[in-house]
Amino acid sequence: MAPLTRIGLAGLAVMGQNLALNIAEKGFPISVYNRTTLKVDETVERAKQEGDLPLYGFHDPESFVKSIQKPRVIIILVKAGAPVDQTIKTLSVYMEKGDCIIDGGNEWYENTERREKALAELGLLYLGMGVSGGEDGARHGPSLMPGGSFEAYKHIEDILLKVAAQVPDSGPCVTYIGKGGSGNFVKMVHNGIEYGDMQLIAEAYDVLKSVGKLTNEELCQVFSEWNKGELLSFLIEITADIFGVKDDKGEGYLVDKVLDKTGMKGTGKWTVQQAAELSVAAPTIASSLDGRFLSGLKEERVEAAKVFKSSGIRDMLADQVVDKEKLIHDVRQALYASKICSYAQGMNLIRAKSAERGWNLKLGQLTRIWKGGCIIRAVFLDRIKKAYDRNPNLPNLLVDPEFAKEIIERQSAWRRVVSIAINSGISTPGMSSSLAYFDTYRRSKLPANLVQAQRDYFGAHTYERIDIDGSFHTEWFKIARQSKI
């Protein structure tokens, strides 16, 4: 009889296969299972080819579960929603009290809390674990965000510490996030920040290409250079790579042949919905979601372009003569300043949810585990961690002394980029909304007094005064009519 394995993994699409191989490579014998048995055989074959790794395939759920040592730990990586429930139902029949299930998908956090409660009644432990890093991260070291049963986490901590991405100055990119669905919620916001980051980079590209007339070769050089400084990150790195790839099916560069229509899987939408639910301003993230919605209207946009072109409005309103080097410098400053706003919004959202649910999340620790493995990994994150280390109760990244100084130094360039984009007819919703967020947050007095007066006028919603305590209502209509008599 074969010896029992240390852990199991069910769900062998590419992410599942790669994570299973990563676990095996780190020295933990692993059992794998998939409803489609061909995937099981494929994974076993990969394990042989990639170093004769201790990975064992099973074609039926019962033998799969029983092949794992007790207390059993099983990771499931299947599509969120009903497939997760079905997989849990299939496997839990053969599991015993004290065994543990870990969902590694992008799941809605309330589903995780529901499942944790239901499985607890069966004596089973449950974790919802965010996994970031894509296919490569899963294989060579992802950022891991487990939340739920702390007892369950301790069952698998030794594996996660070795499987996660390793960052020399801060350790493995994993920590126990907190109770309930906190791991899934943090991963959701991570993805929302990712949406914002990608939108801001795309806008920088648009301004440099459309206004500055940079070629793909020049763009590759610019982003490569940016990746050596304060913008050093995975997304800037891969952007430089993309500009250097020639089209293997025709002339020119591949990026120019990619349809301008962005897909999405839902986590960005969830992030914006949660921001609205919690009354947390997240305009940069929201604008990135709107950008994806509008990109999806490709056919409509093509027709709209014809309508406005017939009236003399082209894609570019005006070709402006610019100093190319100065534009590159300004866009770099605008991109960095906008990123600060985007991350500030994401961290505020996590903090608000943590307060609502009593999760007691440590924002500095979250940015530490995002420093490696994940899609938003960046040198910038170390600065954010230090900001929260200096002041764990920091109300907003914008008022951290170091980030405030950097925003001040960059705001003139930021405004120039947004202005030149507006005058050229180029939409920069991410940069524009980030700038508006900054300008709104830094002002001690806003025109909200008028909005509240309007609310009191038509709905008797009352208002507060700046000079007298209390709540007031004014018969605005009567006073206004009397003054006209």
pLDDT score, position 1: 54
Segment 377-405, tens digit of pLDDT: 888 899 999 999 999 999 999 999 999 99
Region at 31 (left for phi over 0; alpha for psi -120 to 50; beta for the rest): beta
Which residue has better confidence, 483 or 297? 297
Among residues of the chain, what percentage have pLDDT more than 90?
88
SS3 percent helix, strand, coil of the chain, rounded to 5, is: 60, 10, 35
Q: How confident is the model at residue 71 (pLDDT cuts 50, 70, 90)?
A: very high
**Helix-helix angle 401-424:380-390, to 10 degrees:** 130
Length of the chain: 485
Segment 2-38, tens digit of pLDDT: 789 999 999 999 999 999 999 999 999 999 999 999 9
Among residues of the chain, what percentage have pLDDT more than 70?
100
Segment 134-178, tens digit of pLDDT: 899 999 999 999 999 999 999 999 999 999 999 988 899 999 999
Averaged over 253-277, what is the pLDDT? 91
Half-sphere exposure of 123 (CA within 13 A, CB side): 9
Q: What DSSP character marks residue 473?
A: -
Cα gap 473→456, rounded to integer Å: 7
Highest mean pLDDT out of 129-133, 361-365, 428-432: 428-432
Q: Is 187 a catalytic residue?
A: yes
Diameter of the chain by CA atoms? 99
Given the residues 25, 107, 194, 203, the one annotated as active site: 194
pLDDT score, position 312: 82
Average pLDDT over the chain reads 94
Q: Is the pLDDT confidence value at 468 over 60?
A: yes
Given the residues 39, 179, 187, 385, the one annotated as active site: 187
Query: How many helices and strands in the chain, by DSSP H and E?
Result: 20, 9
Q: What is the CA radius of gyration of the chain?
A: 26
Cα gap 436→426, rounded to integer Å: 17
Nearest to 127 by CA among 176, 91, 89, 191: 176
pLDDT score, position 281: 97
Contact between residue 345 and residue 281 where contact means Cβ atoms under 8 Å apart: yes
Averaged over 114-132, what is the pLDDT? 95
- From residue 385, give the alpha-carbon distance in Å to each of 160, 352, 359: 22, 18, 19
Q: How confident is the model at residue 485 (pLDDT cuts 50, 70, 90)?
A: low
Considering the entire predicted model, what is its pTM?
0.92
Q: How confident is the model at residue 301 (pLDDT cuts 50, 70, 90)?
A: very high
Q: Is the pLDDT confidence value at 319 over 80?
A: no
Cα angle at 284 between 288 and 216, to 5 degrees?
55
Q: What count of other Cβ atoms lies within 10 Å of the Cβ of residue 38?
A: 10
Nearest to 350 by CA among 384, 304, 378, 312: 384
Averaged over 286-301, what is the pLDDT? 95
Nearest to 193 by CA among 419, 366, 414, 413: 366
Contact between residue 379 and residue 232 where contact means Cβ atoms under 8 Å apart: yes
Q: How confident is the model at residue 483 (pLDDT cuts 50, 70, 90)?
A: confident
Averaged over 190-199, what is the pLDDT? 95
